[in-house]
Amino acid sequence: MSAMETHGEFRELVASYVIGAVPEDEAARIRTHISTCAECRAEAESLARVTSSLDLAVAPEAVPEGFADRVMARASADSVSRPVPRRRWTLAAALAAAALVALAAVAGGAWLDARSDLARNERIIAALLDSRDGLNLAGAGDAVGKVVPRSEGGSVFVARGLEPVSGDRTYQLWLMTGSCEEPTAPSCTIRNGGTFRPEDGIAVLTSARPWRGYSRAAVTIEPRGGSARPTTDPVMISA
Amino acid sequence: MDRSPDAALADRLMQREEAALREVIELHGGVVYGMARRVVADPNLAEEVAQDTFLALWRRPGAFDPLRGTLRAFLAAVARNKAVDLVRREESLRRRRESLLVEVAASKDLSENEQVAAVDDREEVRRALGELSDVQREAVVLAYFGGRTYREVARELDIPEGTAKTRLRDGLIRLREVLAGYDG
């Protein structure tokens, strides 16, 4: 293509671009054009929907024997060593009060580590720790924490007084349902509540996941990235 | 809020519940493996692509957004991207061509569950593909499932590059018309 590419030339290429059939050097120029040309952008979006529907035309094929087991073996090996990436949220400290609501609304089920926004807002932490509902966790020294159900349906975990952990370790929250006087009992279901690293001893995690009437909560220290199940004794646990 | 089954599975994956991953494999293994087989000739490499697709979901469940589409469509797209990346990377691999152009009949070994969930829109898209002219369909299939650029399509079909571009364009526009007709 010449340097004097016209709108018409790009327009001819939009379909090839959308279907992934344009070499990378040309694709960069088309992207630039599309970003400034409403007509080509609309056409690209429309054809992209058509193109992705082609995936549905492929007939399923029975997987080879033992396929699921092989995937699960790799996934299990992965669980200990690899973190599930979490999205970080950085909001101004002044927005901290609103942040709890906003984070829970957009989190889509993931527990979010919001300490960087909220750590400085001692009043919110104190109010959450003092709220009537929820599970109180206690640990060594001054460490206290709480899991609080929120009226919108999500939940918040706050804690303070936590010791720092080394770089290859992380704190991990566990939420239990069932009869959990003895957390190792089969009648007790333990759910991963998310990993976190405290800042100035403070941690805040919010989740849009529905509160499930948890019977107990605990915090352990796990290898970086977290574990599928607790592997150490709790450093904090609710009564 | 009413949670779709896909959204519920995504939630459980976020909690790293291995049983949820196994359910996803049972539900969508056939689609993912079928896509991998369609693009990659070698069955072992196709399995690798299919495994990597599910592991990608396990490692980053947040990449799937239930509001933007079904889990099945998401996994099919991931599998296709991985398979196309593989055949592009491994130029030494014999790319599929003849078999790419043959519509693969649905396997009889599929679970009933999969058939019921998949058959409607699959038939619709396949019928729509059938509405293209032979040369349009050939270009579209080579580009999309074969990972070819329009230059490679032109070379393989021994046609000018401009003609390859035009066939891709006319093919997608025709598909859009036909699929829009099904909606209305």
Task: For A195-215, write each residue's pLDDT tens digit.
Answer: 888 877 888 777 766 667 788
Given this model, what pLDDT does residue B126 score? 83
Say whether residue A69 is in contact with chain B using an 8 A CB cutoff. Answer: no
Residue range B53-95, pLDDT digits in tens: 999 999 888 888 887 788 998 899 899 989 988 887 765 444 5
Find residues 98-137 of chain A whose CB sits inside 8 Å of chain B: 108-110
What's the CA gap between A207 and A193, in Å, rounded?
9
- How sure is the predictor about A86, in pLDDT bands with cuts at 50, 70 and 90? very low
CB A128 within 8 A of CB A155: no
High-pLDDT (> 90) share of chain A, %: 9
pLDDT in tens, chain B (184 residues): 446 889 899 889 988 899 999 999 999 999 999 999 988 878 899 999 999 999 999 988 888 888 778 899 889 989 998 998 888 776 544 455 544 444 433 333 333 333 333 445 777 888 888 889 999 999 999 999 888 899 999 999 999 999 999 999 999 999 999 888 765 4
Given this model, what pLDDT does residue A222 score? 87
Percent composition of chain A: helix, strand, coil (DSSP 3-state, to 5): 35, 25, 40
Which of helix, strand or coil describes residue A115? helix
Given this model, what pLDDT does residue A230 score? 83
Answer yes or no: do B38 and A84 touch at CB < 8 A: no
C-alpha triplet A73, A191, A151: angle, nearest 5°: 145
**Sequence-ordered list of residues with C-beta below 8 angstroms from that of B178, at least 6 positions apart, any chain:** B127, B128, B131
Find residues 210-239 of chain A whose CB sits inside 8 Å of chain B: 226, 228
User: ipTM beyond 0.90?
Assistant: no
Given this model, what pLDDT does residue A24 score? 81
C-alpha triplet B140, B143, B145: angle, nearest 5°: 95
Answer yes or no: do A15 and B18 touch at CB < 8 A: no
Distances, alpha carbon A116 to alpha carbons A9, A127, A201, A205, B20, in Å: 49, 18, 12, 11, 32
